[in-house]
Amino acid sequence: MEADLAAGKKILKENPAGIPVTHACLIWGGSAELRLDAAWALAAAMTCSSKTDKPCLRCRDCRKIAAGLHPDITVVSRDADKQSVTVDKIRRISTDAVILPNEAERKVYILPQADLMNRQAQNAFLKLLEEPPSRVCFILAGENAGAFLQTVRSRCTQIRLTGENPIGDEYEKQAGRIIKAYISEDAADLLLTAMPAEKFSREQMSLLLSALWRAAAQELGKGGESPLWQAVGLIEKLMDMNRANVGCGQIAGLLCSGLIEEMRK
């Protein structure tokens, strides 16, 4: 596929940290299109042969990436018949990553659906991050940072995009209402707001749980006594269950019953 490097470079330039060239980056937030543009531009910066203003958009490496023809850039997505990025995909990356680059100074692996890695895949990827092969960079992209294990997030330079994402906003609103109902001990409204999630797809559930985690963390950040510590623990357990492909109906039920049980303590 062709890449819009100019658009991606502009997106990255707006990042307070600039354009990081590190062995692992996590791009989250914004729309899928924004994340992909940013990922391609970051891959170009990691392989660009210019000494300044990477990616230069003019060198051989940048031109090949823009045309989708660079042999040292690998895009790893989930299989069409799978709900998640499986551990087998990560194992294949591990096997390939030890091979030296063909043309550029580095090989780059882009995972545009990295937030769909299940727990087993994330643990396998963690080993790559802990002991990265030389001359290899990884770019993870996903809707929400909360979909990743904390140990994975902590080993990546994070880039948060702030472009419009109306789909994500729906889950933010739903999560905010659930947390508000939990704090106010309104079990009826909590059930009314949370139970529609039983019909969600795994991806939709991931978005909701990540939004819930952020909403709870934001409330905790206000300080003072808070009943949300238990809620955060429950949400993190449900995230693990979602990564393990537990049914969304079961997860939605556990979310409601778990929060209501905590409310009644």
Beta strands of the chain (E only): which ranges? 24-29, 73-75, 107-111, 136-142, 157-161
Fill in the DSSP letter of residue 85. Answer: B
Residues 6+ apart with CB under 8 A from 250: 241
Dihedral, 238, 169, 24, 151 alpha carbons, nearest 10: -20
Integer-rounded Cα Rg, in Å, for the chain is 20
Q: What is the pLDDT of residue 166?
A: 46
The CB-based long-range contact list for 216-219 (8 Å cut-off, 24+ gap) reads: 216/179, 219/179, 219/183
Contact of 126 with 152, CB cutoff 8 Å: yes
Q: What is the pLDDT of residue 73?
A: 96
Identify the pLDDT of residue 110.
Answer: 97
Give pTM, 2 decimals. Answer: 0.66
Alpha-helical regions (H) of 145-186: 150-153, 166-183
Judge whether 114 and 85 are in contact, CB under 8 Å. Answer: yes
Q: What is the pLDDT of residue 169?
A: 67
CATH of 5-161, one of 3.10.310.30, 3.40.50.300, 3.40.50.1460, 3.90.1010.20: 3.40.50.300
* Angle between the N-to-C axes of helices 166-183 and 228-243, in degrees from 0 to 180, rounded to the nearest 10: 140
Query: For residues 62, 65, 67 and 73, what is the CA-based torsion angle, rounded to 10 degrees?
Result: 160
Q: What is the DSSP letter of 196?
A: G
Residue type, 103: E
Structural domain boundaries of the chain?
5-161, 166-263
**pLDDT digit of tens for each residue in the chain (265 aa)?**
556 788 888 888 877 666 777 899 999 988 888 899 999 999 999 999 988 888 999 999 999 999 889 999 999 998 888 878 999 999 999 999 999 999 999 999 999 999 889 889 999 999 999 998 889 999 999 988 878 888 999 899 988 887 654 445 688 889 999 999 999 999 999 999 999 999 998 878 888 888 898 888 777 766 555 667 788 889 988 988 888 889 999 999 999 999 999 888 7
| 251 membership: H or E segment, kind and range | helix 248-263
φ, ψ for residue 60 (rounded to 5)? Answer: -60, -45
